[in-house]
Amino acid sequence: MSIEKEFRPKIVAFCCNWCSYAGADLAGSSRLAYPADVKIIRVPCSCRVNPMFILRAFQKGADGVIMCGCHPGDCHYSTGNYYARRRMTLLFSMLDYIGVENGRTRVEWVSAAEGVKFSTTMNEFVEKIHSLGENVRLEDLRCKN
């Protein structure tokens, strides 16, 4: 990657099927723009997100990973997001310890009605990643193009 090139972060967003993915759909149908750097992966529930997925994303060169789920208490599967929340708290503090700053990881609760929140969250997150710059900490150099 040449230094002159504009920094375009790679951002992976895990969205639960019932709330956040629908929230992202609503952001789309309301034409609420957020940067194209965000790519969404649909999972049935935030509790399906294995920490391994997030580590893999960083390994493969992602600059930020955000996970969105239903609001606490609103999980389609009753308790999934509680597990996710605890899991991610641990994972993020460990990632911070090894040098992947807390700003590169985020958990946000977005309901199916919160298109605006989805879009502002993504805008904020991308801005944050821009301020942090490229992630080099976990990246597997063998994965470089």
Partner 1 sequence: MQRIGVFVCHCGSNIAATVDVKKVVEMALLEPGVVHAEDYQYMCSEAGQAKILEAVKEKGLTGIVVCSCSPRMHEATFRKAAERAGVNPYMVEIANIREHCSWIHKDMEEATKKAVILARAAIAKVNLNAPLQPGESRVTKRALVIGGGIAGIQTAIDIADAGYEVDIVEKTPSIGGRMSQLDKTFPTLDCSACILTPKMVEASAHEKINIYTYSEVEKVTGFVGDFTVDIRKKARSVDMNKCTGCGVCQEKCPSKKAPSEFNRGLNTRSAIYTPFAQAIPNVPVIDRDACIKFKTGKCGLCEKVCQAGAIDYAQQDEIITEKYGAIVVATGFDTIKLDKYDEYAYSQSKDVITSLELERIMNAAGPTKGHLERLSDGKAPKEMVFIQCVGSRCADNRGKSYCSKICCMYTAKHAMLIRDKYPDVNVTVFYIDVRTPGKNFDEFYRRAVEEYGVNYIKGQVGKVAPLPNGKLLVQGADLIDNKQILKEADMVVLATAIEPDPSVRKIATMLTASIDTNNFLTEAHPKLRPVESPTAGVFLSGVCQGPKDIPETVAQAGAAAVKAIGLLAKDKLMTNPCTAKADELMCNGCSTCANVCPYGAITYEVKQVNDHGIREDRRIAVVNNALCQGCGACTVVCPSGAMDLQGFSNRQILAEVDAICR
Q: Which residue has the tokens 């700003």?
A: 103
Q: Which of 4, 5, 7, 10 binds partner 1 (CB under 8 A)?
A: 10
> Does position 31 bind partner 1 by CB under 8 A?
yes
Q: Which residue has the tokens 């952001």?
A: 27
> Does position 120 bind partner 1 by CB under 8 A?
no
Least distance to partner 1 from the beta carbon of 100, Å?
14
| Sign of torsion over alpha carbons 9, 15, 19, 21 | positive
* Size of interface with partner 1, in residues (CB under 8 A): 45
> Does position 45 bind partner 1 by CB under 8 A?
yes
- Residue from 90, 98, 44 nearest 107 by CA: 90
Least distance to partner 1 from the beta carbon of 41, Å?
5
73: left (phi over 0), alpha (psi -120 to 50) or beta: left
In terms of Cβ atoms closer than 10 Å to its own Cβ (0-12, 13-18, 19+), residue 25 is middle
Residues that bind partner 1 (CB under 8 A): 10, 12, 17, 21-22, 24-25, 27-29, 31-34, 36, 39-45, 47-53, 56-57, 60-62, 73-74, 76-80, 83, 87, 119, 143
